[in-house]
Structure 1
Amino acid sequence: MLLQFHPWASAVEASFWQILTQRKMDVFKLDDSPKSILGYYATGQQVRVPGKDTTVAMPARLCLGTGAFPESPHVDHNTLNRIPAFSFPAPGLVKNTNTIEDFKALDKTALFKMVVDQIWQDITSGAALQDPALLNKFLLLTFADLKKFKFFYWFAFPALLSEPSWTTDTMRDIGDVWSPELVEQLRLQVDQYRQTYPSSQAGFFLIKESQGQVSVARLQDWDTFTAGSTEDQITVGFADPSSLDHNPGWPLRNLLALIQYQWKVTKARILCFREVPGKQDIGASKFFTAQLPSYVPLTECPKAVGWEKNAQGKLGPRVADLAPLMDPTRLADTAVDLNLKLMRWRLLPDLQLEKIQGTKCLLLGAGTLGCYVARSLLGWGVRNITFVDNAKVSFSNPVRQPLFEFEDCLEGGKDKAETAAASLRKVYPGVNAVGHSMSIPMPGHPVSDQNIEAAQRDVAKLEELFREHDAIFLLMDSRESRWLPTLLGAKMQKIVINAALGFDTFLVMRHGVGQDREYHESHGSTGLGCYFCNDIVAPTDSLSDRTLDQQCTVTRPGLSAIASAMAVEMMVSLLHHPEGIRAPADKADNDDERAQEVFGSALGLLPHQIRGFLSRFKNLLISGQAYDRCTACSNAVLTEYEQEGFGFLMKVFQDAKYLEDVTGLTKMKEESEDLDMEWEEDSEEDDMM
């Protein structure tokens, strides 16, 4: 019966198209001449259908991946050795046109004949004996629409025809022809052969079986290897990509043309070498005999076939629409999401990635804390980050603040907020990062008459930003700069995360909704305080008349990264708590396994405050209750703000002690002083008695 072959099926990885795009833009440009590429294939396999006692034959795939383009203009031995393990090389040519019209108008017949002539020349010159991988030469025609990331392509796998055609007997399993001992000898010999010779030789070889011994040699060793042997002792082997029971793979076609031309062979014993990668199993290999009905000497290039059919089974090009993958921004989105989804798939099914991604974060301060917080937010997939800062990048910033570079300091320095946002977009183009260069009015910092309108605009802008965002990070240098954001966070009931640094200490805390008494009474919980709830004085001007060491936040370099990371992790944990911003504080020890069962957050502990001591590498979890006379979040302050708005704020800016009057702290101090005076008078009387 006629010998029929299992044709190639192209398998192009998305990464190949990305590399082709890069080569087109940076190397090829308008040059549309054919370029060398490298494909590879593995031996055929049949896959068992789950739950059934049947198998499915896999296609004979010729693959193109990340290593398809060699560094040198020609595919050399070093390039061939870069293909994946247990695979075999197939050198080819790619012709990429500049327009779709050029692609359609290509003289495909001439290009196909060019490759066929090269294969025939390699056979007649003996080059294919020295480098049998040349028998697998293929052609790829492409047009890359780089605006839409669509790729039109058409493969040709030229195979020389024999006239008359080769015939065959029944293909038999190797185990039906050879003993298990001979099969194992062959496997070991082929392994040794692949280790000895370059991969360009690995896919084709000669086999001799004599007196219970098996040996393997190169095709170019035919004369010496077959000397003194009978026809039945010699077998021509090839790595067979076919997985069909009765049809060998496409590479055999040109191999038969080679042995017919070089050695005038009309009958050949063929081994279709098929192995299970890494399993030391070649039991799927097949034996059969190929034979020519009548011998006709090959004196000129035979005809050839080999154009691949498209998905509709017709001769024509295919289209790969990779817009969702090829856009670098989309690639970044996919990569970021995949890393996070692996956490959910493998470790934490309850991880709410969509909720994290949708959280809009406002960072007040674009300094060391702001830069590190922003990077950690990116790591969690947060897509909306806004910076607020009124400073400019100085020469001391880049070494500690990772979103700035030396060039940002020149000519007086760029605005920190806008520069940090731009840098963040460079890190990850998928982020919506915005910067606002503005000041935050502060208690005890009087506003002059000419600056009232500017202060009013800053307050209005800050109020607008609070309404637009879900989580606010307080990352400023001074204490009083946190007062107005704390007030707004309490009024709008936003997530507020506070981070503050000392030399080797830090505080990371979340603000509660401490004044929401009805909620806490109904839930039997205690409201958590804000940054100012422990104070019995109003925040005042701490910036004027400061020495150099007081003007800067002098800290150990690693401290800000630690505090920033904890601040972000606290926010993410809070997002996973069913009670959200009103979540009570966990106090359990991390090592208490029983406590793990009662944590409200899927990510574990959710403390109120973390006080870290880098000198001892120790953290303390502290909980603080809301103070009903707090100068930032108490009902008295919120009511005044709601009733008077900017007018109330102006009174505070002009004189911070006004807050003490509003909250009752002034009266409390007076009462305390009266008690001290009475105590002292009583003590004097006692002494006189």
Structure 2
Amino acid sequence: MASATGDPGLSKLQFAPFSSALDVGFWHELTQKKLNEYRLDEAPKDIKGYYYNGDSAGLPARLTLEFSAFDMSAPTPARCCPAVGTLYNTNTLESFKTADKKLLLEQAANEIWESIKSGAALENPVLLNKFLLLTFADLKKYHFYYWFCYPALCLPESLPLIQGPVGLDQRFSLKQIEALECAYDNLCQTEGVTALPYFLIKYDENMVLVSLLKHYSDFFQGQRTKITIGVYDPCNLAQYPGWPLRNFLVLAAHRWSSSFQSVEVLCFRDRTMQGARDVAHSIIFEVKLPEMAFSPDCPKAVGWEKNQKGGMGPRMVNLSECMDPKRLAESSVDLNLKLMCWRLVPTLDLEKVVSVKCLLLGAGTLGCNVARTLMNAKGFNMSIPMPGHPVNFSSVTLEQARRDVEQLEQLIESHDVIFLLMDTRESRWLPAVIAASKRKLVINAALGFDTFVVMRHGLKKPKQQGAGDLCPNHLVASADLLGSSLFANIPGYKLGCYFCNDVVAPGDSTRDRTLDQQCTVSRPGLAMIAGALAVELMVSVLQHPEGGYAIASSSDDRMNEPPTSLGLVPHQSLAQCTWIRFCKQAAIRGFLSRFDNVLPVSLAFDKCTACSSKVLDQYEREGFNFLAKVFNSSHSFLEDLTGLTLLHQETQAAEIESHSVAQAGAQ
């Protein structure tokens, strides 16, 4: 209890301090404000709280802050009084500890004092109910450190108790109590509020009148010795008033002590007991006002809250245990992304990163590393029909293949980015075709022993824009040309897919192979590197204004201004995979043994067995019937369809002719 000492023969007036009540919603909202708005800003912020005077006996007087504390226009809960405050949220625990608490208190006290001297507190009594909140939010551990302060001005002289305190029912008759309730309710209704923090009272045996503080001159006209004021009191102790009375008594002493010798205080307490309204437990007492009408200086102030141990110090609330593990993981990722925006990459478009839906096909070593980086959360167990793997042995097998294709089509349709992370070449064919048809961004990653390739497939233009220039007749058989000026400024819709490398259709790549040839044997760190680069490539593409249609960055662009806030948007990054015969996509290819990456760029191949217009047209016209032909036929079916067979024949004829010419020249 805080006290003001009276004359030796009179009792002390003591006040019950506030107990801060900051609920989980407040900390959640502070977290969002810190991440999305405040960031590194430590400037003071306006917040609001409220207090209530209808608690049962034994409960402390609470000043509550909840999720709405940051919305200054939010309505105050019913039968509660508002309190305005200032939030000082620090960036580090050290800043929190070293904050000048004395200075903060003095600044707040001066604001209250100025409102008293100027008369602003009479017009708006809420200005007397200021509070401070010093915080530090450790968002990695969900530990919130805080120190609450309710500034109270100290009177230069003691406040002797002349009479009381006693229960209102000992001084007021039942008729007077009912008249008080009615007068108070009518004034609240007139002002459009559910509770008034302070009000003026006049009463006799037959009536009770109440009014606003700003009307005190007219309301108390003719009174000479004593006035009566009401305070909405959050305390429920029988002998002590609550903390809000302190600043009001300073106002009364400053403005009225020259006119009145004492003030009668009615601590208005309004609770519901067993369904019936009860204000009879309110207390009333009289105190002598000290002389301070001409004092120019701000009185000394107190108000920092004691901690749980009763000492002067901050408090800490640990919310980590009440957080759902999934939500905690999501918040940690969100925190990392938000921190990027504060200083490192202010232009990062987080919404594109957070909202994108990714489908990962393949859950082996490579797929798990990509999933770990992305945090995907839902799994599907299914088979992907493949070229060279017949499905026509029985109607059951064929029907199962049809269901697998339908499920795969639905999954690709409902996601934004498709990751191809399977073991075999042929398992990537069907999702590559479906994704190309549905204009989905495809990120492809594949491993060798110490080499990898990470690439984005070319993203086809919508049909209405014309498809004549999607797959130019351009085949490059040498990796030496990649990254040169010949491959500069290639837009995303002209880039090749995973199968544009090859002049052979996909087939059963595991038939008649030894165990080590059937498995992807890789150096242990390769999958993690390739998986991480696959995710980073996707994010970089998403940050580009044109997305998957962005012009591919090549190795020559490494010294130029990057096209996105996160850098380049290559077609490929590669660690040269020896089993890839031609290199014509935009990807990241890496060499783990040389600790080197290159960024080749290439055009789409008009005879590609996956993304060429002939394949896509057939798939879109015939659907599963076309796919069944691919699954059940040899690789020659796709080669005949796309023109690869004719290309082979022409190439062989050219080689024979060249050999003949060479022999003739030798003779």
Q: TM-score, normalised by structure 2?
A: 0.50
Higher RCO (CA 8 Å, separation ≥ 6 residues): 2
Q: TM-score, normalised by structure 1?
A: 0.48
